Structure formats: C-alpha cells, structure tokens
Amino acid sequence: MLKLFLIEFLIICNITITAQNNFSFSNDVYSGINSAVLSPAEPFLNPNPWDINLFSPDVFLQNDYAYISQSSIMGLRNATIETANPKKGITGENQTNVFDFYKKDKVNFLFSSDIMGPSFSIITNFREKKYVFGIFTRLRSQASVLDLDNYFKYGNQMISQPDYYEMKPFSSIIMNWNEIGLNAATTIFHYSNKQWVIGLNLKYEMGLDAAHIISQQNITLTATEPDLGTNPDKKNIYASDYNVSVNYITNYNSEKKSYDYKQNGMGLGADLGLTMVDKNPGENEYESRFSFNILDLGFVNFKQGLNHNFVNGNKIWLQNNPDFENLEIEGPEQYLKLLSKEAYADEKRSFTSNGFKIGLPTSLYFNYSRRIKENHFINFNWIQRIPVLENSLKRNNSMNINYSVQKAVIGYGISTNLSEYRNIQFGGYFRIGPLILGSENAFPLLFKQKKLHAAHFYLAIKLYPFWDNEMKRHRRKKCDCEK
C-alpha cells in the first residue's frame, strides 16, 4: 500500500503543468471569458462587446516535501540534476542542482492544472436589458495530500527505519478531466443605487483518470534486519493493522506504455457569483466592486472505476519481498493483486466493486476592488477550499493583494500572494494587445532559490477589440441630427 501511494506521489511530483488561477489578470476588467472560471459575473463588466480566448495555460508548482537546491526554473533547462545521497555527501545543503527532501514530520502536496482552450463571451441586449453569454473549454488536473505522515523521510535521509512505527491515517486524491461550461450573467435588484450582477456557470465534466487512496486508521509498520547477502541499507518492512481503500481508473496502457485518451466518467458542475458594483452615473470606471463566488459545486462519476479494500488481513511484507522485488510491475491492478495475495492468500479478495465518485474542488472566492485614480485599481482576493463531498479534491487556499493599471490596449500590475496562508510569493502581470503574461510567484522563474519548490507562470493568447473603446463605438453610431 505504501508503494502504491509512492507511485501516485511520484506521478504528482513529475507533473510539469500545474496551476492556480491568476488573480492579477482575472481582476482586469478586460480579462473577459478568462475570469469567468473564477468569478462568473466578471465577464459582464468587460467594456468590450466580445472576447475570445485561444489558449491559456496557467502553470503552478508547490510542495513542502522535495526541492532542487540553488536553482531557478529557467536555469533547469541546462542543468544536470542529481538526487541527494547523504552517505556520499551529496545533499541540497552543500551542492547546487540537487534534488533533495525536507525532513518534516508531515508534508503536503497540492497542485492543479487548468488549461483553457477555445472560449468566447459576447454581450447582447434583450428587451432593453444587458446580458453576457459565453462558452469555455478546459483541461483540468488536480491532486491533494494534506498533512501526510512522512514515513518516507527515513529513506530520503538514508537512515534505518525504526523497528516500530505507526503511520497516521491519510487521504490522497487525484483526477484529470475535461470541462465544457456555459457562462451567463446579467443585472438584478434594479431598484438599488448599486449595480448588482449575478453570474452562473453550468459545466459538463468528462472524467479521464482518477485515484483515491484513504487509510482509515493507523498502519503498524515494523522493520527487521535484512537477510545476509541482501542490501544492508534496506530493512525488511511489514505492514499490519491496516484499513485502506483504493479506488482508481486510468487511461494509461501499461502494456503499450502509452496513453489511450477516452472518457471514463461524467458529471455536472456549477459556479455561482454575485458582484456589487459602485459606479457613478456617466462614469466609465467603477469606484469599488465586491464579489462573492461559490466555485466547483459538483462531481464526476466513474462507473467503471475499480475499488479495492484491505482490512486487517495478514501481515504484508512491503520491502525486500522477493515476490515484489524481482517482478516488473506493469500497472496498479497487478500490484493490488499481489497485495491481495499477501493479505488474504487470494489475489481477487481485495476487489470489492466497480464505480466511485470524485467531488470537484469546491471553494469560496471573495474579491474587493477599489479605484485609486483613473485606470488604477487595488484588488484584494481570498479563496478558501470547502470540500463538500467526502471524496472531494482540495485546491490551495490563497490570499492575494495586487495593484493594477487597466487600459484598453495595455494593462499591468504587481501582486503579493499568500499560498496556504504561510508561503509568501510576489509576482504580477503584463497585457499588451492579444498577449498576456503573468505570475503570482515570479522570483523562482528567473532567480536562483536556495530551495526551489514552487513557481507560477501564466500565459494567454486572446482576440478582442483592443484597439476599440466605448467612446469610439459611440461616435460611430448613426444619428438623426435633424430631430
């Protein structure tokens, strides 16, 4: 079971495209459909009559388990990375470009990948009322492991595991899925002296891959000295008193060593947003804006997913077991059958049923923006995860402050971000014409970090009438000047 969890963890660590929403650009009134996934009412405030996103990957990486010493993201292109080996004196503390590990008792892994494909929004009027409609497409990946009991630290430090160890309960979850969403926004409460905008995203979810491993109770791990003639640095490790559930499905073909793209699950999702805008009559820009949003209410159902349960079976020999060590594992199902044979003397005993659900990464998002002077705004953002379903993905918590200058052709800003309420990051964004570049954690991209374990990069290519504005459109309107 530990090996299966380690396999999932290594998949997480080797993901290169991971993501979080780019707050700085999403607060720009010209962000259009790109901001709908964070605040469904935001496209309504777009001064442009239409907006098209061609491609926008949002890349984020953060963990407190492993790091690369004295390096930057750009510096990794030509660097040779060496794995730490304390017994040979190779560590991240004394050498550059070493993949090394933190020594924490508990560690966290959180990532998400959000790549927006072709998407658009358009403003229209119906019965003298303004509406915004849009369609967006996304490819998303998320994984979460919180407060994992770091038993792996012994192997990372190349010191012997304790003879007796109780590994605390844990839960890990990962999912890859496609999403097609319909965005709609309009005004409500017309009697108010403020402008109230309500926005809604309805989403169809197409599940691709998923895995959920949960340990319900302490796992007792015992270690004994290895047999003569085997590696003296690797003790025999046994697991007992376990209660572990494993649910998974994947498109990776272990025999062909390839990924066979197909839909394995389906579900529905929704985002709801309410924005209050304080805007003086006749003014193009608002004085202040407050937005409240509930994001990612929903789930994905994997009807053909495989479920295995391991509950208080026989003691399982995890490390140095010749049945495992000398066998090339071709996939998770083969490994689970081997575990079942160890636990129950029956490779099919652990399999219980087909089908499981994964909840979307539900969260609350608050935004407050205020105009400082013409085209200049300060923005406050707070996003807090609130998992609704028992088996829900968990996104990263963030607090963000950014200052931006927003004009039709150009926009730019600087930001400070507090990820998971403890990691301070600095970044900003730059928008010119159809190109947007941004980062909420820019320093690791360009400058060497003592311990490189986090970075963020955002890119968007859009089409919209950026050489146009409301005044030019007003002047082009035909009028009957004789009346």
Contact 270, 298 (CB under 8 A): yes
CA distance 434 to 431: 8
Assigned token pair, 385: 């995860």
Task: Describe the strand order of the beta sheet including 316-319 as a list of residue ranges.
Answer: 164-167, 219-224, 236-240, 316-319
Q: What is the pLDDT of residues 95-137, one digit of tens each?
A: 999 999 999 999 888 777 899 999 999 999 998 899 999 999 9
The single-letter code of the amino acid at 450 is: K
pLDDT for 18 equals 34
- State the maximum Cα–Cα separation within the chain, in Å, rounded to a whole number: 105
Helix axes 332-344, 2-13, angle to 10 degrees: 160
- What is the residue-wise DSSP string for 305-318? EEEEEEES-S-EEE
CA distance 244 to 349: 14
pLDDT for 478 equals 56
pLDDT for 63 equals 82
Which residues are CB-contacts of 98 (< 8 A; sequence separation ≥ 6)? 68, 69, 81, 82, 83, 84, 90, 91, 92
Q: What is the pLDDT along the chain (483 residues), one digit of tens a residue?
A: 444 444 444 433 333 333 346 889 999 999 999 999 999 999 999 999 999 999 998 876 678 889 999 999 888 888 899 999 998 899 999 899 999 999 999 988 877 789 999 999 999 999 889 999 999 999 998 888 888 999 989 988 888 889 999 999 999 999 999 999 999 999 999 889 999 999 999 999 999 999 999 999 999 999 998 887 777 778 899 999 999 999 999 998 877 888 999 999 999 999 999 999 998 877 889 999 999 999 999 999 999 999 999 998 999 998 888 887 777 777 889 889 999 999 999 999 999 999 999 999 999 999 999 999 999 999 999 999 999 988 999 888 999 999 999 999 999 999 999 988 888 999 999 999 999 999 988 888 888 999 988 878 889 999 988 666 555 555 555 555 554
CA distance 321 to 121: 58
pLDDT for 1 equals 46
Pairing of strands 195-215, 170-188: antiparallel
Closest CA to 277 of 187, 358, 343, 355: 187
CA distance 329 to 363: 38
The single-letter code of the amino acid at 243 is: N
CA distance 440 to 398: 11
- What is the residue-wise DSSP string for 389-444? STTB--PPPEEEEEEEEE-SSEEEEEEEEEETTTEEEEEEEEEETTEEEEESS-HH
Assigned token pair, 397: 């918590």
Q: What's the count of helices (H) and strands (E) in the chain, helices before strands?
A: 7, 27
Q: What is the pLDDT of residues 78-102, one digit of tens each?
A: 889 999 999 889 999 989 999 999 9
CA distance 192 to 162: 67
Q: How many residues are given for the chain? A: 483
Identify the burial level of 290 via C-beta atoms within 10 angstroms of its C-beta, where 0-12 means exposed, 13-18 middle and 19 or more buried.
middle
Backbone dihedral region for residue 347 (phi beyond 0: left; psi -120 to 50: alpha; all else: beta)? alpha
CA distance 33 to 185: 11
Q: What b/e sequence results for 261-275 when a residue is b if at least 16 CB atoms lie within 10 Å of its CB, and e otherwise?
A: eeebbebebbbebbb
Closest CA to 376 of 413, 340, 345: 413
